[in-house]
Chains A and B, each alone.
Chain A
């Protein structure tokens, strides 16, 4: 899984009161790790996964890995 999740949503980290920024994060499943850019809180590192991503590309990758 590479690339970005698209536009940054209009979300702020409620604890740090900071808008999310695209950051490089690691996504991992079944021992495989992929670099991916996702919206994160620049302060506490809270990573946001949108429903579109979770039920779209992320699900596809999960299923592909499960069938490996």
Chain B
């Protein structure tokens, strides 16, 4: 796989972008994570997230302007989550759970911080946590004097200040008050501080700094001249943090903390000899491109505390926190049984797939995950950036096949089925009887002949009557299984064969009954004119049938994933169904249709995911389903959903077509084979007999269902029994009298336990394995 392409795919998935609240927070506090934990009652966990980035949780909870609330996406559905009130409830309950331990630096540095405001103390906190020895010099009698009196006297309880300051001092920060640092004369001179410490931070607030003019370069406004990114002064080892208000002098607590933190990062980098500027450009970024589908959310108003002065109680805080969605994109994951099964999202899945592809030695643990995507295109339709997991998985499959790493068991059965459909036993092409050329070639595909063979014949006879210029008939495979399984060479071979046959037949227009064939031919054989049987029938009109059509009640229409973007086909199908009196109801609509479990061969590589696709779909409506892909219809039927195929409406073949069972894999092969022989015999007068089984089998429904699940074929079972009876090579159970025999068919050893009776051989069970066993010579 191409690394650049992988990066491009990864970049399209925005699930890992921060939620708006965290993006707007100057400290990047994970308000989404906190709300999730509080909603679950885990206040200590929420406090862990909060106190990890917020140095003074009690103070900040009370006086932060909470820019997170201003951008909260819940505002679009009932009102922003009251994150400030939640933080206060959190501090009220879980403050004592905060656990902080400073790192132990191998070579602690000494740092002087001038100014015990929020910025200075934040820097002191951060640098102490890094293991440095920090001394704070404050001119006033107490730290945070300005906060206590000027900024928020009504909001900030003195207990909050004392709690946070106590925690800071207990970490080891040395705060010395009534210590005015001066530029020239005085007891404490800046130049002396610089000489006595490894680094100095001047966190002196937004005012002018004229006294330091002799020591540091000042701006024309008389402020310390600082680098706007690194907060470095003109003098090495000296940093400042007085820019937080920009030109106006509006005080902001949270931006003061951010400034102090930024200065601390610079000082720590300086002390380590690291770059002051690397990876700091987005410090100020506040936006996010995380997509959140707020329209799908029910509006819920904010929780009002019973006692507004006391704030939220524990229960009220939990309820308010539960109003956080939380913000995620996951548009594809919400709709896709495959991504949901693997509990992943595209960005992570793409990386996992690439890692799997890059393994030289070791287990490729993601092989089955890669082969479990239905390649249905729904994720691409839902994704705000049109990322198609199917493209990623198909590319990975092709790479696996090319490198010889594709697990044989994942696609063997489907490819063997395809080979059967393409074999001389089944595949054939003929001009219409009595014609030596074809204007149109009817191509029913593999699955409709496997599911509704009699209707295929009826369709062909009808098209032959109604379309001029000769209607040829071609039974063959479009190559979709080769494509889906990543077999590029085999796929090419199928396409070349189709193209050659089409040319031999005089380049007729191809009419397909199957949406997948239509898409395959349209995409890979663009010079072949191809159209859908359904648009064809909508154009030429429907046949009058002798048998009265069953009364159709309401039907929920399911479009196959390969028709997702075939608008003309979707319209034709709906118009046909409506013209037959069906009350057609939409499920998700064609564009957002889901896979039936057959797409991408998922049901062979991962039956559990395959079934999850079907089950999710059939739970959407109680109406009978109307499909126009035979695989979709049969999968619905297999999982117990009443479903009919559009062809059942047009060419009725049963009283209750929605109750038609899934023929199963063995039945599908038999139906194809019989249809092929019958048509060649009846329409073209060729001598063809119906297939005769080698032995007569009796198989109970439950046994037959198990055989289906194990991807074994009744024909193979018959062959094993016939061979065992011929050679006598079999085991006998002395108690039950049952025989057990085995035979290697293709890459699978098939075992059968059977019992000869007068009516035939009763099959009691069958199973298979790929490993070969033999006695050592």
Contacts and interface: CB of A to CB of B under 8 A. Distances in A.
Interface in A25-40: 25-30, 35-36, 38, 40
B286 to A, nearest CB: 45
Given A49-B751, A51-B765, A28 B772 contact: yes
B434 to A, nearest CB: 52
Interface residues on B, range: 20 to 34
A14 B765 CA distance: 19
A14 B739 contact: yes
Given A48-B740, A54-B768, A58-B769, A12 B732 contact: yes
B222 interface: no
Interface residues of A, number: 39
A21 to B, nearest CB: 11
B773 interface: yes
B275 interface: no
Given A11-B731, A67-B363, A67-B407, A49 B775 contact: no
A6 B751 CA distance: 19
Contacts of B775: 23-26, 40, 45, 47
Given A10-B733, A14-B732, A58-B769, 5 more contacts: A25-B773, A44-B729, A49-B769, A62-B769, A66-B367
A46 B729 contact: yes
Contacts of B735: 10
A30 B404 CA distance: 11
Contacts of A14: 728-732, 739
Given A14-B728, A14-B732, A66-B409, A47 B771 contact: no
B278 to A, nearest CB: 40
Contacts of B776: 24-26, 35
Given A10-B735, A68-B363, A62 B771 contact: yes
- Secondary structure at chain A's binding surface: helix, strand, loop or mixed? mixed
Given A20-B731, A49-B749, A59 B769 contact: yes
Interface string B741-777: 0100000010100000000000001011111111110
A49 B742 contact: yes
B740 A15 contact: no
A56 to B, nearest CB: 10
B149 interface: no
B734 A27 contact: no
A2 interface: no
Contacts of A10: 733-735
B772 A27 contact: yes
Contacts of B733: 9-11
B280 interface: no
Q: Which 6 A-B pairs have the closest CB atoms?
A: A66-B407, A54-B769, A45-B775, A29-B771, A14-B732, A11-B731
